[in-house]
Amino acid sequence: MDKIIRKKDSCIKVETRELGVKSARGQDLEYYSSQNFTVAINPRGLLRYHSIILPHRSINSITELNNSERMELSELYGLVTPLLVKFADGAKENESRSYITALQTGYYEGRPSERFHIHLIPRSYADAYSGDHDRIYVDLYENGHVERSLEDAESMANALRSSLEVYLRVRRNSGEINNTPRIRGTDNFCVGYMNDMILLDTGAFYLAYNHKPIVNGHSLIISRDHVRGLLDLRPEEVKELYYMIDKAVTTLLDAYDTDAYDLKIRSGNKSGRTQDHFHIHIIPRPRTRDGTYEKYYVDQEIRREARSKDEIVGEYNRLRELFRR
């Protein structure tokens, strides 16, 4: 039963307190809950209205979600994300409709919890990064996080909590179903740019090794049809996407003997993506306990430029054999 957050039971409070989504004054920064998930304002967010999706049970990876949780998460994502983008843009007519979806699994210095959670980061025309998502991590590494005031975090949570009830009722009553006919696009993914680096193909999606990987194993899940974002996928495609994520993550983690990885989705022209076509970055990370996530990201961006074509093709060939087993 979906509900606007008013009071939380004790087990959920423990879960959310560990991730720091409760202010020192005891004010809930949570603003929405479904049967298995809670959404809350991140008090140390990168940008305004940066939110976190939290499962009610204790798991460490997206691959541990059961089928009903997976479908519920997809519905929750589709309900909350458009509202976050609208708030971040100030409800302007020329809103950017851009956002980042980020999931980090495994340990890094400064991570408040190793429990599974998803970051939703709306991008607006007014934010400071001018479309360059990568610059966020560089800036955080150089200057550190800027703590939000309690008043600011609580104000954002209260505003979203107050608006969701009406927003959700209108959206549900519209009975919208995404059956828009698909057209063939002209972006690089539609014209076969990644066809020489395919690792796995399930029909609606394929997994390709990145032509310019941040780290060894950096791969992309790409939709066969030309769709712009996760919200444009049909229910049967969402099920297939989770299967692809399971297979890709499991094989890549085994290949690099690690339990740490990132999933990233960039949507909209302010998110920093280079292709207007739905894709997910899967980035395995080593079992490291040295340095912050931001430092690791910046270090790998420097090394990215030094990788030769032969090195990249050699790593692709090694992974292709693993996926064929």
Q: What is the pLDDT of residues 242-259, one digit of tens each?
A: 999 999 999 999 999 988
Q: Which of 142, 173, 204 is the last residue of a domain?
A: 173
Q: What is the mean pLDDT of the chain?
A: 76
Task: Give a yes or no: residue 250 inside a domain.
Answer: yes
Q: Where a domain ends, among 173, 203, 220? A: 173
pLDDT in tens, 183-239: 667 778 887 778 889 999 999 999 999 988 888 999 999 998 888 888 888 888 999
Residue 124 pLDDT grade (very low, low, confident, very high; cuts 50, 70, 90): low
Which tens digits make up the pLDDT trace of 99-119?
A: 788 888 876 655 667 788 898
Cβ proximity of 122 and 129 under 8 Å? no
Whether residues 201 and 168 share a domain: the answer is no
Domain count, the chain: 2
141 and 262 both lie in a single domain = no
Same domain, 165 and 33: yes
Is the pLDDT assigned to residue 4 strictly greater than 50? no
| Residue 305 domain boundaries | 195-324
Is the backbone of residue 3 left (phi > 0), alpha (psi -120 to 50) or beta? beta
The pLDDT confidence band at residue 25, using thresholds 50, 70 and 90, is very low
